[in-house]
Structures are given as C-alpha cells and as structure tokens.
Amino acid sequence: MQKTIITVVGRDTVGIIAKVCTYLAGNQVNILDISQTIVDGFFNMMMVADMAGSQKTIPEIRHELHQIGEEIGCQIHVQHEDIFQMMHRI
Amino acid sequence: MVSIFEVNETNKMIEHENLDVRTITLGISLLDCISPDLAELRENIKMKILTAAKDLVAVGREIEGEFGIPIVNKRISVTPIALVGGAACRQPEDFVEIAKTLDECAKAVGVNFIGGYSALVSKSMTGADRLLIESIPRALALTDRVCSSVSLASTKTGINMDAVRLMGKIIKQAAEETKERDSLGCAKLVVFCNAPDDNPFMAGAFHGVTEGDLVINVGVSGPGVVKHALEACRDSDFELLCETIKRTAFKITRVGQLVAREASRRLGVPFGIVDLSLAPTPAIGDSVADILKEIGLEHPGAPGTTAALALLNDQVKKGGVMASSYVGGLSGAFIPVSEDQGMIEAVEAGALTLEKLEAMTCVCSVGLDMIAVPGDTSGETLSGIIADEMALGMVNAKTTAVRLIPAWGKKAGDLVEFGGLLGHAPVMPVNSFGCSRFVSRGGRIPAPIHSFKN
C-alpha cells in the first residue's frame, strides 16, 4: 500500500469530486477515505488514496491533478502520507 | 489517520509561511583521493565527487515531488582541502587549481555550493594549511560555487592568534579580489571557533575527518512558521510562548528528519544529522528578526533582544531534539544581517549595532554573519573582531563564527548587493580605535581553565 493524501481546495461548484474521482479511477488509484467540509463557500476535501496499483508516480499524478485543478478552479495537492504522519504524530 | 485540519495546517505552512527544508548536504570524504601528483589528485577528486553526487539533485527533486515540501538547496561538503592537497601543493596557486576542480564538479552535478575549501588550524598551522589560507582570496575570486572556512580556535586548544591575524589580511584580500562584485568573495568565507564536523549550512560546511566516506546531513528552516504560530499568542506569558515555539520547532524538524531519512535511503548513503536551525532568507516572511519582533521587540537590537533570542534558541532545540534521531551541526537560530530582511531594517533604523550583534552571538548558534563593514576597515581591526568572537566561543564552549564583508570602496550607510540567498546589506560602522599591538603579539591564547575536564 502506498498511502497518498489528495487535497482539493476552491470555490464550491458542481462536479468537483466527480472530476477528481474519474481521473483517479482512470489511473488505478484506489480511494480509501474521503472527508469534506465547506468553509465560507470554499470547498475543502481530503482524500486518502492508495497508489500502489497505479502505473504513475506521485509527481506525475500530482502534475496532472494540478492541471485538472486549474480547469475546475481548485487547488489540488498530492502528497505522500508520511509528511503528515511525521509532523502530527509522535 | 491524519485529519483534514492537520493536512491543511501542514500545507498552509508550506504555501504561506515559507516552510521548507533549507538544504540536503552530501558529505564526501576526499581522503582516498590524496596523491603527490596534482593532476592525478584533481582527477581523483573529480571522479569521486561526480560518482558520489550524481543522483543528489535528482533525488532531492523526487522527494520534493512526492512529499510536496520544497528543498531549497542541494549541496556538497568535502574533507578540508588543506588535508587533501597537502602532499601535492607546493604553492598557493596549486590549491587554486583544486578549487577550480571543485567548482567544475559542483556545476556538473548541479549543486549551488560546495564547501570544504578549508583548513583546521585551531592550534597551529602546517605548511599546507598556510598555503591553502593564502590561496583563499584568489580561489574565491576565480570560482562561483566554492565556499571556504577556517577553524581558528576551540575550547580545547585556545585561539590561534597567528591564524587570526593572517585571516584579517586574507579577508581584506578576498574583498579586493572581488571588488567589482561588492566583495562577494567574503560572503563565501567564514572563520570558526569550535567548528562542527557535520554542519550542512554554507559557507561553513566541510566534511570532518571524524566522518565516514559519505554522509547525508539536512538543515531545516522555518522562521516564518514560528512567527505565524506566535501571532496566536501575542498577549500570552512566557510559558505559552515557549511552549508554542517548542511545538512548532518539533513539527518543522520532523519534516527535516523525514527528508533526511528518505534522501539517505534513496541515495544509499548513511544519515548523519539534522541541523535544527532557524535559517532566514531575504524573502519577506522568512525572517528570524520578525520572530523577535513578534516576541515583543520594536526591532532586533532593542533592550531585551539577547534574552528573547536566548529563549528562542533554547526552545527550538528543545522541540527539535525530540523530533530527530540525531541532531548536530550548528543547531540554533541564525542571525545573519544581509540574509534577513528584518535584520536589514533594524540596521537601517539604527536599532542594531555590531556590538549588540556580538552580544547576541553569545546565546545563538552562529556568530557575526553576513555583516558588511566599511571597505577601509583595517586587517588588524578585522582580526580584533574575529578574536573577540573566537573568545566568546572558546569560553562558552559553543560554535561561533565570523563572516564579515569589508565592502571595497564603501563606507558606513552604503548598500552592498550580493543577490539571491545572500541578499543585500547596509554597511555598518566599526569601532575605529586601534588593536594592532594586541593582534600582532603572535602565538596563541591558551585554552580556558574549564576546558580541562579529564
């Protein structure tokens, strides 16, 4: 398992999750968990995904999702889970 | 599982508060390159560095891409060249040839600095040490990426005043050799007391003789993150203030530890240390001075500055030590003038003087760093300033350093511009009373009584 955290932040519009999930499904990235809030009209989503089955590397996925983010007016980040585990867990 | 709030906190630090890993520094031993033939020695050095560091920059970028954390610099430190070149070099020009080789290697592997054009002379100088020191001004003028350091003193050996006197002259020469570039050579030259073998930060990084063949050392940063965290406790007491710095330092250092571990694994090179330093850059919001202001000072240099810096330095260490398995290098807050916009403003406002900076170096990790002084400052005066700083390090058993730039043709109040990470600096006035009889006595100042611990 290669746990990756995908965050999407931006103005709330129709189809944000659909667009991201379609891309992930097309690249064999398995979504393990989704949490989402809306603060002041801003859409804020975090996905925990497993990239072990994907042919692509994190930097490649990161680059492509970044482009999708620009299309839908959101900022999308893709990072290995370890950076958050290290910083927030002893 | 991590929460959305924790993820957002981390990403806010990276995007808005300049959280980054300041440097991954690959230490390379050149002891096995030694040859009495200069051409062969240069070839050996080239082969060793190009082989050992070929993947350094690519691996750094890979880690940046995977974890989403910027790694600002990828650098190399090598065994002090006075030791490596001693058998082959007969004159200072021979050492300059080695400097050129190091510069070529740095450019070939894509690192922005290579440190270790150094001599360790805290007690006395060998002939090779002297030749290397004499070659420094020329070497720094003819290369772009080579950094030089000289260890002049230690708590165990005392202060080598012959070398202190010599370095005053050498710094002047380095300023003259690079006078067309605002004496940039001096920005790549630092002198030390109690120099650490595993410092990943430039200009003082070298791969000490106690180190193995290869090692990965990582320098963290993050003054902007500490500053933002402190904004939330503007009216709190010292307990909460210290606790906040400590918690933040822990988080910053954990990122450094992760990067160090990953770089070590991917390069197949042992992990050495994480250097817990708050290292500023000239970028807005990446300033140690701003932290001091957030703690409650109008400007760094105001009464209370030394106390504020002391607590900051201590809390950074307390938070950082638990976050990393091995801590080393300089580890503390850096207070360079030219590389910190808040420090520059403090000097320009008249709040911060050279004497106050000297006092501040008693309680933080480095010394008089990136300070421009008038171009007509004499070599003896520079040596006097160096001797004072070495004494602080020697007596307090800590690292201190001096990186002064006697900016050629400039006087107090003028501006010097180095560009990039080195920033710009207002020229600060220097006490003009003489010290030449003191400096020219010759010999060394003995080690202090409390160094005899056996």
- Rounded to an integer, the average pLDDT of A69-89 is 93
Interchain contact, B257 vs A86, CB within 8 Å: yes
Q: How close A66 comes to chain B (CA, Å)?
A: 12
Radius of gyration of chain B (CA): 21
- d(C-alpha A63, C-alpha A68), whole Å: 9
Single-letter code of the amino acid located at B264: S
Q: What is the DSSP letter of B401?
A: E
Question: Quick one: pLDDT band at residue B366, thresholds 50, 70, 90?
Answer: confident
Question: Quick one: pLDDT band at residue B152, thresholds 50, 70, 90?
Answer: very high
Q: Which of A7, A57, A82 sits opposite B7 (nearest CB)?
A: A7
Question: Quick one: pLDDT band at residue B419, thresholds 50, 70, 90?
Answer: confident
Interchain contact, B2 vs A37, CB within 8 Å: no
What is the model's pLDDT at position A42? 84
- CB < 8 Å to B7, chain A: 5, 7, 46, 84
What is the model's pLDDT at position B184? 93
3-state DSSP assignment of residue B27: strand
- How far out from the chain centre does Cα B312 lie? 19
Interchain contact, B6 vs A84, CB within 8 Å: yes
- d(C-alpha A75, C-alpha A7), whole Å: 8
Pairing verdict, β B146-154 and B158-160: antiparallel
Question: Which CATH architecture fits A3-87?
Answer: 2-Layer Sandwich (3.30)
- What count of other Cβ atoms lies within 10 Å of the Cβ of residue B15? 12
> Using one digit for the tens of pLDDT, what is the confidence trace for A13-27?
888 889 999 999 999
Q: Please answer whether residues B76 and B26 qualify as being in contact, where contact means their C-beta atoms are separated by less than 8 angstroms.
A: yes
Q: Helix count (H) and strand count (E) of chain B?
A: 15, 13
pLDDT of B1 above 90: no
> Using one digit for the tens of pLDDT, what is the confidence trace for B165-199?
999 999 999 999 999 999 999 999 999 999 999 99
- What count of other Cβ atoms lies within 10 Å of the Cβ of residue A14? 8
CA–CA distances in Å: residue B194 to residues A12, B269, B404: 57, 26, 18
- d(C-alpha B432, C-alpha B156), whole Å: 31
Q: Which of A35, A78, A80 sits opposite B4 (nearest CB)?
A: A35
Interchain contact, A77 vs B11, CB within 8 Å: yes
- d(C-alpha B205, C-alpha B102), whole Å: 14
- CB < 8 Å to A59, chain B: 62, 65-66
What is the model's pLDDT at position B165? 98
Start-to-end CA span in chain B (Å): 51
- Rounded to an integer, the average pLDDT of B43-67 is 97
CA–CA distances in Å: residue B69 to residues A26, B21, B87: 27, 7, 43
Comparing CA positions, the residue from B327, B412, B404, B407 lying closest to residue B366 is B404
pLDDT of A39 above 80: no
Minimal-distance CA residue of chain A relative to B252: A87
Interchain contact, A46 vs B7, CB within 8 Å: yes
Radius of gyration of chain A (CA): 13
CA angle in degrees (0–180, nearest 5) for B350-B354-B356? 80
- d(C-alpha B50, C-alpha B58), whole Å: 13
> Using one digit for the tens of pLDDT, what is the confidence trace for B367-415?
999 999 999 999 999 999 999 999 999 999 999 999 999 999 999 999 9
3-state DSSP assignment of residue B357: helix
- d(C-alpha B74, C-alpha B62), whole Å: 12
Interchain contact, A59 vs B67, CB within 8 Å: no
Minimal-distance CA residue of chain B relative to A80: B67
Question: Quick one: pLDDT band at residue B120, thresholds 50, 70, 90?
Answer: very high
> Using one digit for the tens of pLDDT, what is the confidence trace for B192-242?
999 999 999 999 999 999 999 999 999 998 899 999 999 999 999 999 999
- CB < 8 Å to B66, chain A: 57-59, 79-80
Q: How close A88 comes to chain B (CA, Å)?
A: 7
Interchain contact, A84 vs B7, CB within 8 Å: yes
- d(C-alpha B105, C-alpha B109), whole Å: 6
Q: pTM for the complete prediction?
A: 0.94
- CB < 8 Å to B254, chain A: 86-87
**Boundaries of every domain in chain A:** 3-87
Q: Please answer whether residues A78 and B68 qualify as being in contact, where contact means their C-beta atoms are separated by less than 8 angstroms.
A: yes
What is the model's pLDDT at position B289? 96
- Rounded to an integer, the average pLDDT of B290-295 is 96
Phi, psi of B160 (to 5 degrees): -80, 95
Size of interface A-B (CB pairs under 8 A): 63
Cis peptide before B203 (omega within 30 of 0): yes
- CB < 8 Å to A58, chain B: 65-66
Q: Please answer whether residues B321 and B355 qualify as being in contact, where contact means their C-beta atoms are separated by less than 8 angstroms.
A: no
Minimal-distance CA residue of chain B relative to A38: B4
- Rounded to an integer, the average pLDDT of B426-434 is 95
> Using one digit for the tens of pLDDT, what is the confidence trace for B306-317?
999 999 999 999
Strands (E), B121-205: 146-154, 158-160, 189-193
CA–CA distances in Å: residue B38 to residues B85, B101, B149: 8, 11, 22
pLDDT of B345 above 80: yes
Question: Quick one: pLDDT band at residue B422, thresholds 50, 70, 90?
Answer: confident
pLDDT of B424 above 80: yes
pLDDT of B421 above 80: no
- d(C-alpha B358, C-alpha B375), whole Å: 20
Interchain contact, B66 vs A84, CB within 8 Å: no
Single-letter code of the amino acid located at A65: L
If you average pLDDT over every residue of chain B, what do you get? 95
Single-letter code of the amino acid located at B330: L
- d(C-alpha B18, C-alpha B70), whole Å: 9
Interchain contact, B6 vs A57, CB within 8 Å: no
- What is the DSSP track for A37-80? EEETTEEEEEEEEE-TT-SS-HHHHHHHHHHHHHHHTEEEEEEE
CA–CA distances in Å: residue B444 to residues A50, B121, B123, B162: 63, 11, 7, 7
Cβ contacts of B347 within 8 Å, gap of 6 or more: B301, B337, B425, B426, B428
Interchain contact, B258 vs A82, CB within 8 Å: yes
What is the model's pLDDT at position A13? 83
